[in-house]
Amino acid sequence: MLALPQRLVIGQPPNDGTPRFPQALRSHGDTCAARPHAYGESRRYARVKLVEPGGRPLRAEELPKDRNLIFHYPYASTPCFLLNLGRPVKPAARLKTAENRDYEWHGGVGPNRSIVAYSAICAHQLAYPTRDISFISYRAETSARNKLAHVIHCCAEHSQYDPADGGRVVAGPAPQPLAAILLEHDPAGDELYAVGTLGGEMFNQFFAKYQFKLAMEQGGGARQAVNGTATVSQLENYCKQQVKC
């Protein structure tokens, strides 16, 4: 059964006694990305530790620069990109969902504030990385069809997103930024946690569009909420074929 997230309205505490999001984030570690601001659009899910395929906690300082890393959060079938952009990203970005709702993203985490995460479900027509093929990935370099470097590029219809600017759409037909995955960095252990989302989620549309495919692949587990840990893999190890354009 789908575990419904807690929708947070900044300025009003949740009615279950849970601390409001900024306080909840500050209670763990000293750095946190994409802290929700007064513009809302953030949702808290389980606080999940990011780990390597062998189960060892992922260390922020070990994240390779400009590599596509993938994990699933907040549901077992919803993929996300974890990126070390290798440079401090913008400290804040004001963005809008397709429904014209404002929100504010607050940059990267980690020692250099260069680590960001986004839903890997394209905000246009929901292309996403599967085990067989991925049309969407981060590209540090330009190419014949990729005039912009350092973007997340979806080759389906060439939507491009800037991961250093909150996932803002910089080209193509996508109607809104990629949803950001809220991260925490615990400096004591140099560990990373996913704690929620910010921006326009596409999960309901994703589950509806791929209902049959997900059921065939994962049975009823596709909508299982991720708890405890999430395994981070290199995209080339997760996916047989990456479409480059």
Residue closer to ligand FES (CB basis): 73 or 206: 206
Minimum distance of ligand FES from residue 159's CB (angstroms) = 4
Beta strands in 23-166 (DSSP E): 31-32, 42-51, 69-72, 79-84, 93-96, 102-105, 115-119, 133-134, 136-139, 151-154, 159-162
Three-state secondary-structure class, residue 24: helix
Minimum distance of ligand FES from residue 151's CB (angstroms) = 12
Residue closer to ligand FES (CB basis): 150 or 185: 150
Minimum distance of ligand FES from residue 153's CB (angstroms) = 9
Residue closer to ligand FES (CB basis): 85 or 152: 152
Q: Which amino acid is at 105?
A: W
Residue closer to ligand FES (CB basis): 33 or 174: 174
Minimum distance of ligand FES from residue 156's CB (angstroms) = 4
Q: How far apart are CA 126 and CA 9, in angstroms?
A: 26
Other Cβ atoms closer than 10 A to 106? 23
Residues that bind ligand FES (CB under 6 A): 122, 124-125, 127, 154, 156-159, 172, 174
At 236, give phi and psi (nearest 5°): -70, -20
Minimum distance of ligand FES from residue 167's CB (angstroms) = 13
Note whether 108 and 116 are within 8 A (CB).
Answer: yes
Residue closer to ligand FES (CB basis): 126 or 225: 126
Q: How far apart are CA 231 and CA 236, in angstroms?
A: 14
